[in-house]
Amino acid sequence: MVAMKVVVLGAGIVGMTSALRIVEDCGTAGLDMTVMADKFSPNTTSDVAAGNAEILNVKTGLRPMREMIRLEKEEKKDNLSGKTVQIIHNYGHGGNGIAWSFGCAKEVAIMVKQLLQKQSTKSRL
């Protein structure tokens, strides 16, 4: 079976929690995972994911937020290869990324698991 390529965009709390949850729930067999970001630890919020952060200051209105989080699957055709690719969107958390990352990551892992099962079923036919 060909490994399913999984690309996680972003190494902040939402991206890294999603990557970790995918590995925990789906394992590494059948997955080829890459995390792509412009910044990695120690320059991201994922360093404070464990709750060890010291509050230095409180400010509001610093992070833009969507009306609703975008957490859904999308199927698109890659114009270069002609292949169909699956995209799982998980963004728009605003300043609530730390609070919502674990639940959203669980949903992402469920979607990846479903795609892995679908791929496994197709390859047997």
pTM for the model: 0.68
Number of independent structural domains in the chain: 1
Closest CA to 95 of 60, 123, 49: 60
Segment 50-72 mean pLDDT: 60
The answer to whether residue 45 is domain-embedded is no
Cis peptide before 42 (omega within 30 of 0): yes
Residue 34 lies in a domain: yes
Across the chain, mean pLDDT equals 79
**122 phi and psi angles, rounded to 5 deg:** -65, -40
Cβ atoms within 10 Å, residue 53: 11
Q: Is 57 within the bounds of a domain? A: no
Angle at 112 between CA 107 and CA 113, to 5 degrees: 95
The pLDDT value recorded for residue 46 is 61
